[in-house]
Structure 1
Amino acid sequence: MIFDKENVLALCNKWCKNTLMETLEIEYIDAEEGMLKAKMPVNSRVHQPMGLLHGGAMVALAESVGSAASLMFINTEKQEVRGIEISANHLKSKREGTVFGTAKIIHQGASIHLWEIRITDEENRLISLCKLTNMVLPRKK
């Protein structure tokens, strides 16, 4: 199968309609085999009470990009993906601008995918480092 970056991005962005990803304004912006990148604006919609980017919003970005990335490795007509574990280490705070979530495959098994997701800012400074485990399941009819 030939990797089609434009098709992957179009499909990921289409799947965001009427979801949390749309609410958080997550947009998929880059892809290659074993990597998917998305961006999310940092504004009051994703702030915690102190005016900083909420850790939960970063985890939502990480799980969104990591789960979507697993779709590149499965037959979406016969299989589906479920996130089963996520961890995050928040290293820096951010008040405004944009953050980018880049998922890179660590392990691609038949039923388990392990992803490292780096949340960075516009200057490529590491804001959060996340790890996501996805399970590949047969699609229910």
Structure 2
Amino acid sequence: MSFDKDKILQLCNDWCKNTLMETLEIEYIDAGEGFLTAKMPVNSRVHQPMGLLHGGATVALAESVGSAASLMYINPEKQESRGIEISANHLKSKREGTVFCTAKIIHQGRSIHLWEIKITDEEGKLISLCKLTNMILPRR
């Protein structure tokens, strides 16, 4: 696999404009051999009524990063990635600060990509563990 880290991060961050990712303040910060990482602030914008990080915001972060990570394995001018299944286990709560989300490739086929996605806090403690399946389609 050959890719330009800065180009991937720029593409991912540019695609966030005027989307849910911009609303959630997701920022892509690192990419490498088989992984993509982003961060998201934890504040009232992503809280559930009890003042904790909302599971739906966590899953939106995971799907955003996992879907974007498939860009490293496709030609975005000719193909697109669509999330078709996601599962999440929320293991720890978070009230404030920042969470970090890293998607790592488990399987890279021609039409299916499978990602393991870990959401951690600033100390590297696991908040949520997710699995995402992406379907790779011809760009329309």
TM-score (norm 1): 0.98
> How many Å apart are 1:84 and its aligned residue?
0.1
Offset of residue 70 of structure 1? 0.3
* CA displacement 1:44-95 (0-9 Å, x = unmatched): 0000000000000000000000000001100111111100000000000000
Distance apart, 1:2 and its partner CA: 3.2
Greater mean alpha carbon deviation, residues 83-92 or residues 2-11: 2-11
Structure 2 Cα separation of the partners of residues 88 and 2 of structure 1? 30
CA distance in 2, matches of 1:2, 1:138: 21
Root mean square deviation of aligned Cα:
0.7
Distance 1:49 1:22 in 2: 22
Unaligned runs of 5+ in 1: none
Q: Equivalent residue of 1:75, what SS?
A: coil
Runs of 4+ in 1 over 3 A off after TM superposition: none
Asked if 1:124 is matched to 2:124, the reply is: yes
Identity of aligned residues (%): 86
Q: Give 2:83's aligned residue.
A: 83
Cα distance in 2 for residues equivalent to 1:61 and 1:49: 19
d(CA) in 1 for partners of 2:76 and 2:7?
14
Secondary structure of the 1:57 match is helix
Counterpart code for 2:8:
V
The SS at the match of 1:77 is: coil
